[in-house]
Structure 1
Amino acid sequence: MIGYYTELALRSLRRSPILTALMVLAIGLGIGASMTMLTVLHVMTADPVPGKSAQLFYPQIDPQDKDGYHAEDKPPALFTWTDATNLLRDHRGSRQAAMSRGQVTVRPPQGKERAFFESTRFASSEFFNLFDVPFSHGHGWTADDDTKHARVVVLDHKLADKLFGADRAVGQSVHLGDYSYRVIGVIDHWDPSPHFYDLESQGAFGHSESIYMPLETGVADKQSVASTVQCFSNAGFPSGSLKDAPNCEWLEYWVKLDTPEATKDYRDYLLHYSQEQRALGRFERPPHVGLHDLMGWLDYNHVIPGSVQLQTLLALGFLLVCLVNTVALLLVKFMRRSSELSVRRAMGASRRDLFAQLLGEAAMIGLGGGLLGLLLAWGGLWIVRQQPADYAQVAYLDVPMLGVALGLALLASVFAGVFPAWRASVLPPARGLKLQ
């Protein structure tokens, strides 16, 4: 029966190619526009650490002075060296890491004349376990390496392959700035999006760093350990080490809290810490803390621009307009075939048979519109990637969104075909035969 309905649908579509093309085009345009924006929204709202994001938290404290203070001000996002090391020492979470983004000069084995800059993540030892960073070879450093300022580094797969070959990189020495460092690990392909752990200096949709170095080592070796530094108390940018700049915020800090009770205890700890530092004279403002889980942190920083949300709503509205037009075209098409349908009714076909036949024809139109919509969505996403917006580079149609596109096209066409198919199937046969 399905094959028979398919044959009838193909015959009907071939009899009115212009009308068929208009309906396919209408659905294709609606699907293309909506899938372009839905894909952008999808990549921007994706969970970068699935299964663990609810346990990862970004704390905030306010070490600044009273200058320009307003009670409604939000606490700063970055930490001073003093506060970050204090929180690391107290170790109130199951895992935690302080970190910063900078860059180093890489001098490859071919000679210093081929030196180049590479982005670098300076972090404490639990960074890799905290974020479940995958290794293809080797491992990360230990807390003891942090303390001893060990000259060890981890490379990403691409840089390791460029310098030594990824499978031969562990144990090699790489010259960074004025010092040589031993490679102890190679990270497998890892580039979470949104780039949640460094929104201040990298933005939400930048790429992960190529080199990872112990934070203490980077500071001790006077590497360029911070790309974002915010100083208060008119301190200005420090001329020496950031370690000796108590009024400069430049470190990100993440902590893993496994239970709601641990989250509550950690918030209480932040309040107590702020009160303690205020009693010591370091903090001048009343205790003001924040504690956001990963997805809450993205929302807090408005990672999804309002313009993207608006454009997505407009694209869905455009799809609705296209569906309304398709309903009208299908209604005209089916009602013009009332004589044919009445003959089928007279020969014994039930209303259900006619309804299934016409709905199948609408589904075929939707399938054609969905395929056209996919092509238009790929073109639309290519246009998005040419834009200067930071999220543009991640606007790709992945497998799940491909399924969504085809499902949306089929659902839209069936939705559009229900009323015309029902209206044509309930037409009294005598009326159609009389018209004939």
Structure 2
Amino acid sequence: MFAYYMQLALRSFRRSPGLTMLMVVIMGVGVAASMTTYAVFRAVSGNPLPDKSAQLFVPQIDNLGPQNGSTHNHLPDALTYRDAMALMHARVAKRQTAIYPVLENVIPQDGTHRPFAANGYAAYADFFPMFEATFLYGNGWSDDDDQSQANVIVISQRLNQQVYGGVNSVGRALNVDGHDYRVVGVIDDWNPQPRFYDVNNSTGFGDAPDFYLSFTRAIATQTGSNGNNSCAGSIHSLAPGWDGWLRSECVWASFWVELPDASAVQRYNQFLSGYVAEQQRSGRFHWRADTKLFTLTDWLDHEGAVPPETKVSLLVAAGFLLVCLVNTVGLLLAKIMRRAGEIGVRRALGASRGAIYRQFVAEAAAVGMAGGLLGLSLTALGMLGTDLLFDPAIAKLARLTPALVLLTVFVAMLATVIAALYPAWRAAHVQPSLQLKSQ
């Protein structure tokens, strides 16, 4: 029976090709606009570590107080050096790492390349297993390397290609800002998006970092942060020099912990409360200092990791698709009502209302299929122009995946079938006696 309905649909298309093509174009354009923006939105709003995100947490400590704008709903989004070190040395979590971004000059030793700036991070050894970083060569450094402030470094695949021609560079030396480091690992194509561990520095998207070095070594070499440094009201009491900076109440170190279950989360919350109470007793905090513990996904929401323009664009595209849907309803209704005489004859020959209804829904599904194929082509073209609307670092994340291909065709068919429900109902309720008399 479905094949019979498809034959009727093809005959209808041949009788009114212009109207049919107009509906196909309307649905194709509407679906392409919505799917292109959805592809960008999905790329920037996905869970970067879906199998582990529920175990990763960000602790916050109110070290600035209400006089500097801190509230329970908006605590500093980083820690001071002294707080980060206290949490690191306590070792309450299964894994923990302090992190901060750095910008250094890489100085190739072969004499054929000029020094160039490279972006990286200072972190602890737990960074790599905690965030499931994948390695092409070697691996991360050890806890002993952190304790001894070892001159170890992990580099990206891109930096390895640039400096060493892509060969296994583990064990070789790399001069970074005048300091020699030993390469212990080369990161594979690993660059979670958004870059959850650094969204508080507004660097959630873009190319992978060039290198990672030991946090303790970075502190020993007085390597400053390339991220946000917030001192609030403590800037006037800031002691001079590097040691003064480390002892200050300025917040600049991100901190992450891995807590495998609910009991571990409870213990860590209790530890944070106890730590803050201890700081109050010591006279450091003269207010009721709050603490919070964010999961990875909650942290992304808290920091607004999804760019607002992607949300706005998605809403605009959805509205445009709705307009296309309304226009398709009107065109289908006009097309069906022009065939009222044909419908009356079919009804007089014994066709049921259900058969008439199914016929025109099937016809709409065929229009939707054609619109979906056109929308798929337009979506592929739209991917090439996303950088006109979005930041290039965000736009290049959108991909025409097999799932998106199927979703595009499905949305086009579903939208067109929905648009056909009322016109098909009207067709099914055509009175055959009135149509035969008029003929």
Output the CA distance in 1 between the equivalents of 2:15 and 2:244: 76
Distance 1:238-1:142 versus aligned 2 partners, 3 A rule: farther
Output the CA distance in 2 between the equivalents of 1:255 and 1:208: 22
Q: Which residue type is aligned with residue 366 of structure 1?
A: G
Corresponding residue for 2:278? Answer: 276
Output the CA distance in 2 between the equivalents of 1:44 and 1:242: 38
Deviates more, 1:404-413 or 1:168-177: 168-177
Q: Which residue type is aligned with residue 256 of structure 2?
A: W
Q: Which residue type is aligned with residue 54 of structure 1?
A: A
Deviates more, 1:72-81 or 1:406-415: 72-81
Number of aligned positions between the proteins: 436
Counterpart of 2:416 (choices 413, 417, 432) is: 413
Output the CA distance in 1 between the equivalents of 2:91 and 2:214: 18
Deviations 1:306-349 (A, max 9, x none): 55434433332322222122112112112222333344445555
Corresponding residue for 2:258? Answer: 256
Deviates more, 1:298-307 or 1:86-95: 298-307
Q: Is the 8 A contact 1:102 1:119 kept in 2?
A: yes
Corresponding residue for 1:287? Answer: 289
Corresponding residue for 1:201? Answer: 201
Q: Is the 8 A contact 2:238 2:248 kept in 1?
A: no
Asked if 1:164 is matched to 2:167, the reply is: no
Q: Which residue type is aligned with residue 281 of structure 1?
A: G
Corresponding residue for 2:31? Answer: 31
Q: Is the 8 A contact 1:341 1:354 kept in 2?
A: yes
Q: Which residue type is aligned with residue 276 of structure 2?
A: S
Corresponding residue for 2:406? Answer: 403
Deviates more, 1:338-347 or 1:31-40: 338-347
Output the CA distance in 1 between the equivalents of 2:250 and 2:206: 24
Show the 5 A alignment for 1:110-189. Answer: 110-111=110-111, 114-189=114-189
Q: Is the 8 A contact 1:154 1:185 kept in 2?
A: yes
Deviates more, 1:372-381 or 1:174-183: 372-381
Corresponding residue for 2:301? Answer: 299
Q: What's the offset of the Cα at 1:252?
A: 0.4
SS in 1 for 2:194: coil
Q: Is the 8 A contact 1:66 1:284 kept in 2?
A: no
Q: What's the offset of the Cα at 1:230?
A: 2.2
Superposition RMSD in Å = 2.6
Deviations 1:178-198 (A, max 9, x none): 122221111111111112111
Q: Is the 8 A contact 2:196 2:296 kept in 1?
A: yes
Asked if 1:312 is matched to 2:325, the reply is: no
Q: Is the 8 A contact 2:239 2:245 kept in 1?
A: no
Distance 1:166-1:315 versus aligned 2 partners, 3 A rule: same
SS in 2 for 1:14: helix
Corresponding residue for 1:327? Answer: 329
Output the CA distance in 2 between the equivalents of 1:118 and 1:404: 39
Output the CA distance in 1 between the equivalents of 2:295 and 2:73: 20
SS in 2 for 1:43: helix
Q: Which residue type is aligned with residue 316 of structure 1?
A: A
Q: What's the offset of the Cα at 1:415?
A: 1.0
Q: Is the 8 A contact 2:43 2:398 kept in 1?
A: yes
Deviations 1:155-214 (A, max 9, x none): 112221222244422222222121222211111111111121111324322333110111
Show the 5 A alignment for 1:215-254. Answer: 215-232=215-232, 233=234, 234-235=236-237, 239-240=241-242, 244-254=246-256
Q: Which residue type is aligned with residue 357 of structure 2?
A: F
Distance 1:408-1:237 versus aligned 2 partners, 3 A rule: farther
Q: What's the offset of the Cα at 1:240?
A: 2.5
Q: What's the offset of the Cα at 1:356?
A: 2.9
Corresponding residue for 2:11? Answer: 11
Q: What's the offset of the Cα at 1:242?
A: 7.5
SS in 2 for 1:145: helix
Q: Which runs of 5+ in 1 are unaligned?
A: none
Deviations 1:121-151 (A, max 9, x none): 1101100111111112211111001011111
Q: What's the offset of the Cα at 1:228?
A: 2.6
After TM superposition, the score normalised by the length of structure 1 is 0.91
Identical residues among aligned pairs (%): 38
